[in-house]
Amino acid sequence: MANEAKSAAKYKAVITDIEGTTTPISFVKDILFPFARAHVASFLEKSWDQPSVQAHVKALAEFAQQEKGVEAESLVTLSQEPDAAPSELRTAVVAFVHFLIDHDRKVTPLKALQGDIWLSGYQSGELQGQVFDDVVPALKSWAEKNCQLYVYSSGSIAAQKLLFGYSNQGDLLPMFSGHFDLTTAGDKKEASSYQKIAKNLDVSLSDCLFLTDLHAEAVAATEAGMDVVLLLRQGNATLPPKHSFATAADFSAIQI
């Protein structure tokens, strides 16, 4: 029924987004992204010689070749100079990362570097994942009804695990059976991504319930054959006035 949350008991898999669904959008926008931006220079200086960091730098430089602008050109040029001073290359990486963050670019090389920066923040206690109070009781209830729980977010799987592993509700990772992101499932606004997830889980699309805050994602999941509930949390984007999707104010409103 339109605008009325369906029971989750009929589903074999409940797949949830993160931003605006399990977690306030403000946490990602106002805490995680600014943290990565503020700490990228010190993180690179401290960890520059680590193979994983050098891999991030290489990936960012390769991505910059496809971009326009002073920041991209500077990184490409310095990355191709064998005698470039590490400090100059780091400065170019920082400038390009700041550019990507400031323009809200959701690209894999940036997410990979951000994940490492966030890991250091979570481990030091400077960061703690925020999860709405209604989420954990609902997840436990659904699990008791033999619903397998999964995460599908545009954030990397590594970032997902950090948020739930170091959350204000404790370590929630044992509650989830798996995680999907853009690299493993595809674009969240494409029906094929949800078909890929269902195939991976070896369940029919009609046995899956997807929870999200975005209308475009709801459209894609529905086109694929999944049922959808749109979350109406404070701060979420306004939905089209005449949509036909089930909605819920929070997880407790999704009845079992």
Query: pLDDT of 205-231, one tens digit each?
Result: 999 999 999 999 999 999 999 999 999
Q: Report whether 185 contacts 162 (CB < 8 A).
A: no
Beta-carbon contacts of residue 95 (< 8 Å; ≥ 6 apart): 71, 74, 75
| 3-class DSSP string for 204-238 | CHHHEEEEECCHHHHHHHHHHCCEEEEECCCCCCC
Chain centre to alpha carbon of residue 102? 17
- What pLDDT is attached to residue 255? 79
- What pLDDT is attached to residue 108? 86
Q: What top-level class would CATH report for the domain 29-124?
A: mainly alpha
Tokens representing residue 130 in the block: 């925020």
Q: Where are the domains of the chain?
A: 8-23+130-253, 29-124
Beta-carbon contacts of residue 160 (< 8 Å; ≥ 6 apart): 18, 151, 153, 179, 181
- What pLDDT is attached to residue 172? 98
pLDDT per residue over 74-94, tens digit each?
Answer: 999 999 999 999 999 999 999
User: Whole-angstrom Cα distance, residue 132 to residue 18?
Assistant: 10
User: Whole-angstrom Cα distance, residue 33 to residue 53?
Assistant: 18
Res. 6: pLDDT tops 60: no
Architecture category of domain 8-23+130-253 in CATH? 3-Layer(aba) Sandwich (3.40)
Q: Report whether 209 contacts 8 (CB < 8 A).
A: yes
pLDDT per residue over 104-114, tens digit each?
Answer: 888 889 988 99
pLDDT per residue over 140-173, tens digit each?
Answer: 999 999 999 999 998 889 999 999 999 999 999 9
- What pLDDT is attached to residue 155? 85
Q: Which amino acid, 1?
A: M
Average pLDDT, the chain: 93
Strands (E), the chain: 13-16, 148-152, 178-180, 208-212, 227-231, 246-248
Token match 């899956």: residue? 208
Res. 4: pLDDT tops 80: no
